[in-house]
Amino acid sequence: MKKLCTVFGHPIAHSLSPKIHQAFAKQFDFELTYTRTDVEGSFEQALKDFVHKGGSGANVTVPFKTQAYDLCREVSPAAHQAKAVNTLLWRHDHWYGTNTDGRGFVQDVVHNLEQSIEYKKILIFGAGGAVRGMLGPILNERPNAIWVANRTLKKAEELCHEFAMPNLKATDFDQLTQHAPYDIIINATSISDDFKGFDIDTEIFKEALVYDLMYSLDGRTPFLEWVKQFDAQELVDGIGMLVEQAALSFEVWFDCIPMTDEVLHQLRQD
Ligand code: NAP
């Protein structure tokens, strides 16, 4: 039977998800139609229309992850903790939602990059939906400390308060050197293409693994282009996370685990 999946978002035209999921489906030799759904009106209506067309599995991206969570009758513990859903599965008469972003990130760092998170000191820029989804899985890896720095400090403080872990704290941009050095620095902000850098002491990047959730096929992003002058140990974009979170979604829909290495390799070559 032909399966129908989609990714909901706005804008969505450049999403790599269809390509990734088609490549996964090929590994198991089944036919998958995976579309992009640009939601300009009601997200709830878009979900109804999708089910009406026979759709059963979907990814959700910016800006609908929180709404997706609200529209699910059943959610996983990961989605419950994140209050955000990036993976939807239609179960007979209702949506089940989960969040694979965080586990996708951890899988990329620990498995693909072979870097342990345990006992590490981590700095995260941003306190939006992606960070919500990532904190639980990162905390499960038992880091020494996580500092969350956000343009709107209050949002970072509220997020850390919600998770209530002694090794998770919010920080202002101008106090970053006080908590340094960091082993891993993550950019989870949605800065634009004309990003020229944060007004911070750039010494903090020295020797750190710098991971940008944003991605590009050549691995260059505005954030990494800025950081590359500051002697980081390694600069990594978020394409590995994208493929890993997609593999976890695929498993939710089809109950089979695709191989990610070759898909990642294929994307980098495009
Ligand atoms: P979001 O919920 O909209 O949050 C955006 C965050 O960026 C907020 O913390 C916001 O700070 C901050 N921000 C925006 N513009 C900024 C600026 N000019 N300077 C400083 N901070 C700024 O977005 P999200 O869902 O968390 O996604 C964040 C990024 O991660 C996006 O680029 C998204 O594409 C990427 N992502 C990648 C993957 C992957 O698989 N690789 C998965 C998920 C997300 P304020 O609170 O102050 O507004």
Does ligand 1 lie within 6 Å of residue 62's CB atom? Answer: yes
Q: How confident is the model at residue 270 (pLDDT cuts 50, 70, 90)?
A: confident
Q: Which helix (H) or strand (E) holds 252?
A: helix 239-254
Handedness of CA 233, 239, 241, 244 (dihedral sign): negative
Q: Quick count: other Cβ atoms within 10 Å of Cβ 193?
A: 7
How confident is the model over 233-266, as pLDDT tens digits? 999 999 999 999 999 999 999 999 999 999 999 9
How confident is the model over 132-187, as pLDDT tens digits? 999 999 999 999 999 999 999 999 999 999 999 999 999 999 999 999 999 999 99
Alpha carbons 125 and 139: distance in angstroms, whole number: 16
Q: How confident is the model at residue 196 (pLDDT cuts 50, 70, 90)?
A: very high
How confident is the model over 36-77, as pLDDT tens digits? 999 999 999 999 999 999 999 999 999 999 999 999 999 999
Q: Which atom of ligand 1 is nearest to the CA of 101?
A: 42
The confidence score (pLDDT) of residue 1 equals 59
Does ligand 1 lie within 6 Å of residue 241's CB atom? Answer: yes
- Contact yes or no for 55/36 (Cβ under 8 A): no
Q: Ligand 1, residues 14, 151, 236, 241: which to mutate, most atoms within 8 A of Cβ?
A: 151
The alpha carbon of 186 and the centre of ligand 1 are apart by a number of angstroms equal to: 11
The confidence score (pLDDT) of residue 68 equals 98
19, 26, 65, 196: which one is catalytic? 65
Does ligand 1 lie within 6 Å of residue 216's CB atom? Answer: no
- Max distance between CA atoms of the chain, in angstroms, equals 58
Q: Is the pLDDT of residue 89 over 80?
A: yes
Q: Is the pLDDT of residue 214 over 70?
A: yes
Q: Which helix (H) or strand (E) holds 251?
A: helix 239-254
65 is catalytic: yes
Q: How confident is the model at residue 227 (pLDDT cuts 50, 70, 90)?
A: very high
Q: Quick count: other Cβ atoms within 10 Å of Cβ 154?
A: 10
E strands of 52-159, at which residues? 57-60, 74-75, 87-91, 94-98, 121-125, 145-149
Alpha carbons 85 and 101: distance in angstroms, whole number: 9
Alpha carbons 83 and 68: distance in angstroms, whole number: 9
Q: Give the HSE-up count for residue 249: Cα atoms under 13 Å, Cβ half-sphere.
A: 36
Alpha carbons 192 and 15: distance in angstroms, whole number: 16
The alpha carbon of 163 and the centre of ligand 1 are apart by a number of angstroms equal to: 19
Q: Which atom of ligand 1 is nearest to the CA of 244?
A: 40
